[in-house]
Amino acid sequence: MGLMDKLRGELIDIIEWLDDSRDTMVWRFPRYQNEIKMGAKLVVRESQTAVFVNEGKIADVFPPGTYTLETRNLPILSTLKGWKYGFNSPFKAEVYFVNTRQFTDMKWGTQNPVILRDAEFGVVRVRAFGAFAARVVDASRLLRELVGTDPQFRTEEVQEYLRQLMVGRLGGALATAGVPLLDLAAHQDAIGRRLAAVLTEELAEVGIAIPKFVIENVSVPPEVEQALDKRTSMGAVGDLDRYTRFQAANAMEAAANNPGGEAGAGIGLGLGMAMGQQMARSMGGGAATQPVPAQPAPTQPAAAEPPPLPGQAQWYVGVGGQRQGPYDLGGLAEQAGAGALAADTLVWRAGMAQWQPAGQVPELASVLASVPPPLPPQ
């Protein structure tokens, strides 16, 4: 083997890159002091771009394909070199392979909460996290602005810069979206698309695009979550009045099943009084079971019975399964005199736990004293 054949064997004749790292964005082809000879093969695979750098300046850029390196394929580099020694002379230009596929394993999150003004809740602090994809769209700008002379530029070297940029734009995107806090989950996709477009436009100067921006979750402080849970519980209950009566009925049933318990007796007494008062209010508080429509005022003053004196208890009488009243003690005496009130007649007033026979109520002893005895048989 001659000397020239030996020298030619030391020259690089195939230039390619097989990436197995999954996180390398730019890789510089190692020359190890060897030269790239004219006529060498350049293999640029899909999702790759090859960039030739001569003496620190970008010379030629090759998209995917297979190329034979000669003067017609290296117009800029051929002009820079001048090729004083003929077209077969080797050269020492650096070759950078740029990965143009999508890098999807990139995460983002807010270390500090973002303060928003919500129309319903006022000023709210929210946190968010998610993922995004990045892609190199301009290899020349990426080399100039971020890579420099780095022989192996990985995603971790640019991920923190991208994360800070995204978090800085997140607050503005949420504030200008005009979406209420409770509806953010339904609009996360739309907000993510808007942020992806804004970030792509801003990163165009470094040759990077953000094709996908995903908001996985937006959370509020624990105290706001507790308030939302209470609000949801109230909405699930519905009619609070009906719910209260239902709870009271359940408590009375539980107390009735435990008649020996002092606590059950007290609960039953209190709930019975409350339900009795509520029934009285719902019945209208009068002898009639249906409300009487208002009548127009007469032109001449009509004689009316004066209201009962203050401080007198109002009594109700149960006759034939119907409630009658209210009566004061004088009215009860009239009922007793007419035979409508007897010792076994059920009566009730505010403060009593349940209806009781009149003969068992000490306050009505004087009223029942005027009741005539039953007529003798014929």
Distances (CA, A) of 288 to 6, 15, 146, 291: 123, 104, 90, 7
* pLDDT band per the 50, 70, 90 thresholds, residue 63: very high
pLDDT digits (tens, 9 = 90+) for 179-189: 888 788 888 89
* pLDDT band per the 50, 70, 90 thresholds, residue 333: confident
pLDDT of 195 over the 80 cut:
yes
CA dist., res. 192 & res. 337, Å (int): 86
Judgement on whether residues 185 and 110 belong to the same structural domain of the protein: yes
Domain membership of residue 233 (yes or no) is no
CA dist., res. 195 & res. 128, Å (int): 14
CA dist., res. 95 & res. 143, Å (int): 12
What integer pLDDT is reported at residue 320 of this predicted model?
80
* pLDDT band per the 50, 70, 90 thresholds, residue 308: low
Judgement on whether residues 45 and 126 belong to the same structural domain of the protein: no
Judgement on whether residues 134 and 174 belong to the same structural domain of the protein: yes
Residue 202 one-letter amino acid? E
Domain membership of residue 244 (yes or no) is yes
3-state SS assignment for residue 291: coil
pLDDT of 237 over the 80 cut:
no
Judgement on whether residues 91 and 109 belong to the same structural domain of the protein: no
Query: How many Cβ atoms are within 10 Å of 132's Cβ, its own excluded?
Result: 23
Per-residue pLDDT, averaged over 248-266, amounts to 65
What integer pLDDT is reported at residue 50 of this predicted model?
94
Q: CB of 127 within 8 A of CB of 116?
A: no
| 341 phi/psi in degrees, rounded to 5 | -130, 120
Judgement on whether residues 39 and 55 belong to the same structural domain of the protein: yes
Which domain, by its residues, includes 175? 103-222
Higher pLDDT, 250 or 278: 250
Judgement on whether residues 113 and 218 belong to the same structural domain of the protein: yes
Domain membership of residue 25 (yes or no) is yes
Q: What is the CATH number of the domain that holds 123?
A: 3.30.479.30
- Which of 12-16, 115-119, 139-143, 242-246 has the weakest average pLDDT? 242-246
CA dist., res. 186 & res. 311, Å (int): 62
Of the chain, the percentage scoring pLDDT greater than 90 comes to 17
- pTM for the structure as a whole: 0.55
What integer pLDDT is reported at residue 297 of this predicted model?
53
Of the chain, the percentage scoring pLDDT greater than 70 comes to 70
Higher pLDDT, 67 or 371: 67
Domain membership of residue 373 (yes or no) is no
pLDDT of 274 over the 80 cut:
no
Q: What is the CATH number of the domain that holds 347?
A: 3.30.1490
DSSP H or E segment with residue 158: helix 156-177
Domain membership of residue 10 (yes or no) is yes
Judgement on whether residues 68 and 107 belong to the same structural domain of the protein: no
What integer pLDDT is reported at residue 260 of this predicted model?
58
* pLDDT band per the 50, 70, 90 thresholds, residue 8: very low
Judgement on whether residues 249 and 193 belong to the same structural domain of the protein: no
Judgement on whether residues 255 and 350 belong to the same structural domain of the protein: no
Judgement on whether residues 107 and 218 belong to the same structural domain of the protein: yes
Domain membership of residue 265 (yes or no) is yes
Per-residue pLDDT, averaged over 184-213, amounts to 90
Among residues 48, 83, 99, the one where a domain terminates is 99
Domain membership of residue 157 (yes or no) is yes
What integer pLDDT is reported at residue 2 of this predicted model?
52
What integer pLDDT is reported at residue 34 of this predicted model?
53
**Which tokens hold the place of 266?**
């007290």
Judgement on whether residues 360 and 337 belong to the same structural domain of the protein: yes
What integer pLDDT is reported at residue 7 of this predicted model?
45
Q: CB of 70 within 8 A of CB of 91?
A: no
What integer pLDDT is reported at residue 239 of this predicted model?
63
pLDDT of 60 over the 80 cut:
yes
- Which of 29-43, 181-195, 335-349 has the weakest average pLDDT? 29-43
Judgement on whether residues 184 and 253 belong to the same structural domain of the protein: no
Domain membership of residue 171 (yes or no) is yes
Higher pLDDT, 2 or 205: 205
Q: Count how many domains the chain has.
A: 4
